[in-house]
Structure 1
Amino acid sequence: MYALLLAIIYIAFISLGLPDALVGSGWPVMHEDLGVPLGYAGILTMIIAAGTIVSSLLSERVTRRFGAGLVTAVSVALTASALLGFAFSGSFWMLCLWAIPYGLGAGAVDAALNNYVALHYAARHMNWLHSFWGVGASISPFIMGAAISSGLGWSSAYQVVGGIQVVLTALLFVSLPLWTRVDRTRPPVAHDDTTDTVAPSNAPAHRHVPLRAALSIPGVPLILAAFFAYCAVESTLILWASTYLVTERGIDAATAATFGALFLLGITAGRFLSGFFADRVGDRALIRGGFLTVGVGVALIALPFTTDALALAGLVIAGLGCAPIYPAIVHSTPANFGARNSQAIIGIQMAAAYTGSTVMPPLFGGLSAWTGMWVLPLYLLLLVALGLVMSERLNRRMQVTHAAAD
């Protein structure tokens, strides 16, 4: 029963990643078919991001009321309907309308699943599950490419991915009794990151934790700032790294694009590898080591060596460093702030993540238009420093709290 539900959650994480790269990979063709400027992709992604932020902030109340299983099933159903709506949209305004349920579904399922895994499963599973998200995100561009190259058009890619989501929706609704049984027979666990042990915890009380109350918990603003900084680094590198390599290092566009893809593959592979030692190392060490590794990778990108090999290697190293940070931050939430508060705080964390991913890359675009693309490594290093400082301040606070409790 427990293993079967875990397998379903793994499949759900693949499905979470599937839609994420469809807009970016298909937009060069989509905007021509829809007769809109290339830059309109930003409008679409902003609508999706707004929906994810709203549903993330509401996820605690909704998940506490209906349970993680039902929220996950309904959210995936929303995403499936939005993807099929994209497939049959003949105008840009229709895409914008379907982007609303797309964002609402994505944010709710992300917060609900991440909290459920943080409460019920060990750190290795959190890393492997997020690695499976990377598998889904890596597959969807191939689906889009095959649809376009075969002459079926971009809409068929959305039909395929939407169909997969429909099948997953049915599977999730059928599996709802499993979620209830696991909740009854396997209570939430508290992960003591100071001793790397996993012990039974009191189940979360069925009481709503208001947004203001969650934000007032000591240490929460620190982890939100760290999460914001991490997601800003990841999304800025995804969007601008290839452009930096071409304009500042003179690397040809094909090679730069390849290593841009390797950054994502580095994240996926790094999360898979992290799962093998995450329980022994602990979330705090993973976060600290991840930020430091990203800093080393960014420094290699910036150093003015005559060879480009170090800059390209730096991009891969940055991806490996990024790998454990997101899963470790989420997984450490119940241990840091209590199982009763974790759903509310993870929902806010997801909102902070989406805000960082949405705001900071275009902010760098505006900055680079004024200063030049050379400022990218400095911009990234400042964000890395912010994330590292905030997470280390939280660690010290938690150590003081644990010492006082002892």
Structure 2
Amino acid sequence: MTTFFILIIYAAFISLGLPDSLLGTAWPLMQADFQVSTDSAGIISMIIAGGTIISSFFSSKIIRRIGTGNVTFISILMTAISLMGFHFAPSFFWLPIFAIPLGLGAGSIDAGLNEFVAEHYESRHMSWLHCFWGVGAMAGPILLSQLLAGGQNWRSVYQIVSIIQLTLAVVIFLTLPMWKKVARRDAMQKEAFPLESIEKTNPKKRSGLKEVFRLKGVVAVLLSVLFYCGTEQTMMLWGATYLIRIHEIQVSTAAAWISLFLGGITVGRFLSGFVTLRIDNIRIIRIGQITILIGLLVIILPLPEFFLPAGILLAGLGCAPIYPCILHETPVRFGKNQSQEIMGIQMAAAYTGSTFFPPIIGFIGARTSMVILPFFLFLFTSIMLLTSERVNHLTRETEIRNMDKLLE
């Protein structure tokens, strides 16, 4: 039963990744169909991102009230309805409307499942969870290309993904008792082994959002997540443009090389699930950040052209463990009483970085040169490394003080 349940959670994260890449890959066809400007996709993207940030920020309150299982069911149902709305949309006017529940649903699923896995499962499951997001993100464009080859249009892929989401929503609904059982099991373990449940912060009650921001290390971890997601999404959006304009790589080759970045993230997260059995999250995060810096140096230095895909792959492999390991470390760093609130605002910080960093770099690059891309990514990763080490320092201090109080 435990294996079946964790597979359901993995499937939910595949469903989270499926819509993420659809808009970008289907937009050229959608634009021609609706006869709107190219940058109209930015309107839909910003609405989805805005909904995701809002739902992530307030997810802890909703989860405490109705539970993670119910939140996951409702959120997947919302995304299914939204995607079916994209399928039937008669004009562009309807797309921003359906984008609202799509963003709200995605943020709730992300925050809820990350917190649930961080609290109830080992670190390897968090890495594999985000590996399955990569599977979903890669499956969307593949499904679209297959449907187009078979004579279908862009609406078909939204219909199929919506049906997949509806099917998963039914499965989640039927397994709601299992979510409650896992939560009860954890509560019983706390009662049986109280010393293992000592919180690093206030053990008597949960803190409000204002109090959470005052906890040592919270601001630093939010900055770390912000710069990680900004780095990842900026590379995904502008990497091919950089290769084409600066290195004069052919379009098809540039697309293939950038796919190494996403492939490195997906494969790296699968492998890091095994690495977490021997190395703790903090060291894995640090290794990942240093690996990104090495990969970016390979891209920046005037090396022969065949080093470029190696640098891109290294950057993807470095990215792989960072985000899931940061999220899994949340209850350890700040205590389970605070983990839902902090997980929610971490999701909000993540989507803020992925929403605003790429257009900022695109704006600067359009007015100067895209040669700036790897240099900015190197700067972002360096800040990520510094803030991450700051979190480690502050939370270690808090842990030492709490242990001293316990010994007294």
Paired residue secondary structure (1:92): coil
Of the three residues 261, 278, 281, the one matched with 1:280 is: 278
Deviation at 1:144, TM superposition (A): 1.2
- Does residue 271 in structure 1 map to residue 269 in structure 2? yes
Deviation at 1:402, TM superposition (A): 2.3
- Does residue 383 in structure 1 map to residue 385 in structure 2? no
Contact 2:285/2:326 (<8 A) preserved: yes
Q: Which amino acid aligns with 2:282?
A: R
Contact 1:13/1:130 (<8 A) preserved: yes
Contact 2:216/2:395 (<8 A) preserved: no
- Which residue in the other structure is 2:329 paired with? 332
Paired residue secondary structure (2:318): helix
Deviation at 1:202, TM superposition (A): 6.4
Paired residue secondary structure (1:90): coil
Q: Which amino acid aligns with 1:385?
A: S
The range that moved more, 148-157 or 120-129, is: 148-157
Change (3 A) 1:239 1:103: same
- Does residue 184 in structure 1 map to residue 181 in structure 2? no
Of the three residues 376, 397, 401, the one matched with 1:404 is: 401
Measured against aligned partners, the alpha-carbon deviations of 1:298-356 in whole angstroms (never above 9, x if no partner) come to: 11111112x21111110010000000001001000000001010010010000000000
Q: Which amino acid aligns with 2:378?
A: L
Measured against aligned partners, the alpha-carbon deviations of 1:201-229 in whole angstroms (never above 9, x if no partner) come to: 36998966422121111110000000000
Of the three residues 312, 321, 335, the one matched with 2:318 is: 321
Paired residue secondary structure (1:52): helix
- Does residue 201 in structure 1 map to residue 176 in structure 2? no
- Which residue in the other structure is 2:297 paired with? 299
Contact 2:296/2:315 (<8 A) preserved: yes
Deviation at 1:89, TM superposition (A): 0.5
* In 2: Cα distance, 1:215 partner to 1:20 partner: 29
Deviation at 1:200, TM superposition (A): 4.6
- Which residue in the other structure is 1:165 paired with? 165
* In 2: Cα distance, 1:336 partner to 1:240 partner: 34
Summarize the alignment of residues 40-119 of structure 1 with structure 2, pairs less than 5 Å apart. 40-119=40-119
Q: Which amino acid aligns with 1:168?
A: L
- Which residue in the other structure is 2:341 paired with? 344
- Which residue in the other structure is 1:195 paired with? none
Contact 1:188/1:202 (<8 A) preserved: no
Q: Which amino acid aligns with 1:233?
A: T
TM-score, structure 2 as length reference: 0.94
Contact 1:226/1:391 (<8 A) preserved: yes
Change (3 A) 1:205 1:145: farther
Paired residue secondary structure (2:307): helix
Q: Which amino acid aligns with 1:63?
A: I
Contact 2:206/2:337 (<8 A) preserved: no
Q: Which amino acid aligns with 2:197?
A: S
Deviation at 1:189, TM superposition (A): 8.3
Change (3 A) 1:380 1:25: same
Q: Which amino acid aligns with 1:258?
A: A
* In 2: Cα distance, 1:58 partner to 1:207 partner: 18
- Does residue 392 in structure 1 map to residue 383 in structure 2? no
- Which residue in the other structure is 1:143 paired with? 143
Summarize the alignment of residues 17-32 of structure 1 with structure 2, pairs less than 5 Å apart. 17-32=17-32
Change (3 A) 1:164 1:189: farther
Structural RMSD (CA): 1.7
Change (3 A) 1:223 1:102: same
Measured against aligned partners, the alpha-carbon deviations of 1:211-265 in whole angstroms (never above 9, x if no partner) come to: 2121111110000000000000000000011111111112221111001111101
Q: How many residues align?
A: 397
Measured against aligned partners, the alpha-carbon deviations of 1:90-119 in whole angstroms (never above 9, x if no partner) come to: 211101100000000000110000000000
- Which residue in the other structure is 2:255 paired with? 257
Q: Which amino acid aligns with 2:53?
A: I
Deviation at 1:150, TM superposition (A): 2.2
Q: Which amino acid aligns with 2:164?
A: I
* In 2: Cα distance, 1:96 partner to 1:316 partner: 35
Contact 2:26/2:144 (<8 A) preserved: yes
Paired residue secondary structure (2:274): coil
Contact 1:244/1:373 (<8 A) preserved: yes
Q: Which amino acid aligns with 1:59?
A: S
Change (3 A) 1:200 1:371: same
- Which residue in the other structure is 1:364 paired with? 361
- Quote the sequence identity (%): 46
- Which residue in the other structure is 2:223 paired with? 225
* In 1: Cα distance, 2:204 partner to 2:147 partner: 46
Q: Which amino acid aligns with 1:370?
A: R
* In 2: Cα distance, 1:149 partner to 1:4 partner: 35
* In 2: Cα distance, 1:287 partner to 1:321 partner: 9
* In 2: Cα distance, 1:141 partner to 1:112 partner: 26
* In 1: Cα distance, 2:262 partner to 2:72 partner: 25
Contact 2:334/2:395 (<8 A) preserved: no
Measured against aligned partners, the alpha-carbon deviations of 1:140-188 in whole angstroms (never above 9, x if no partner) come to: 1011112223222101100000000000000000000001111112349
